[in-house]
Structure 1
Amino acid sequence: MSISRREQFMAMVDNDTIMKADAIVLLQGDGHNRVTKTYELWEAGYAPIVVISGGAFNEAYGSFDCDGLRNKLMEFGVPADRIVVEGLSENTYEQGKQVVKLAVESGWSTLILVASHYHQYRAYLTFLQAMKEGGKKLHIINIPARNLSWFRKEPWGQRLELLEEEFKKIERYGKQGHVVSFDEAIEYQKQKELRTYPSRKIEKVKDAI
């Protein structure tokens, strides 16, 4: 029995290859639950800079204030001068565009993207679309925050239910041109692997993104 392209995409995102990057991008959302993973990546030396992306403030929706996220990171031990706050965006699509713009301005080529496990799929598809629109080639690595309950009811919802809503949004936003397709994302993953492991024999794919 064959698996769907969506299932292939999910498996790739869930098992992305980590490597050193120019910046770790912490996406606002899901309360403070993404801060610990972001700090762990920074502490392990995977990138010198942490970018907090998101200017929305709606605690009922899980969008906590960026200053609070910044303070949490500093409490863990990330110096203030190692944290960049992107506070203009108010949704995932705007986050993608603002972070890609920041990467271009900063000369960054590799980013580690940190969202919660249920949101990582849509966030990644959105960032690939933003990169495509911006005409910038970036190496984006998926390292979602894990060890989060699927069944506990948070003020902004149960993560298992939120996961289902995420895929509905992927379909809806795909029609609006705000996310790339699963096929495009899989092609991009192949390109990433070719760049990371150039000696491997992998079928060459077209430059989709």
Structure 2
Amino acid sequence: MPEIVSPGSVLLLWAAFGYLLGSIPFGVLVTRALGLGDVRAIGSGNIGATNVLRTGSKGAAAATLLLDGGKGALAVVLARALAAEDAVQVAGFMAFLGHCFPVWLGFRGGKGVATFLGLLLAAAWPVGIAACLTWLATAAALRISSLAALVAAVLSPLWAVLLGRPEMAALALGLALLILIRHCANITRLLAGTEPRIGRR
């Protein structure tokens, strides 16, 4: 009996699902719902939790962080429950792309750090925990969110290998490269010593 849907078509469907889920701009939705204005007109103009924090609302920032991380995790969890492991990586990667380049905002989105951590936690929790702890340790020591994100991203492929999940290393490397690209302006400010610290409006 011939296959009704080819494996390639299944992956395309999960890619589309992951992208659309990831493209939901929770930072914009949360700040508007709470009457905080358009987060794109505040601070760096980014739609992520760090910039939402610059509105002065820790609750809005926490909600944005959880929702952005949750959409990456949800893409992975559903793909794992309903499809094969290759769909997990496709859906997770596309959720990350959706956050960074959402169709609803003219492809101008966030930098993907929360979504990156959420999908790693769901795809390979030891790797995700290691990446989260790396972020927390760097942020606590240096109080610079972008630097914490860069360190966590760059080390994530290494954590994948060291923690016995080498199949996640390629995905982690791809995500890390995109995070580096999305943080080009931050890297320039870090080198110049002008990158804002956590909590600064």
Question: Do they fold alike, i.e. is TM over 0.5?
Answer: no
Taking structure 1 as the reference length, the TM-score comes to: 0.29
Greater relative CO (CA pairs within 8 A, separation 6+): 1
TM-score if structure 2 supplies the norm length?
0.30
- More strand per residue: 1
Which protein has the bigger helix share?
Answer: 2
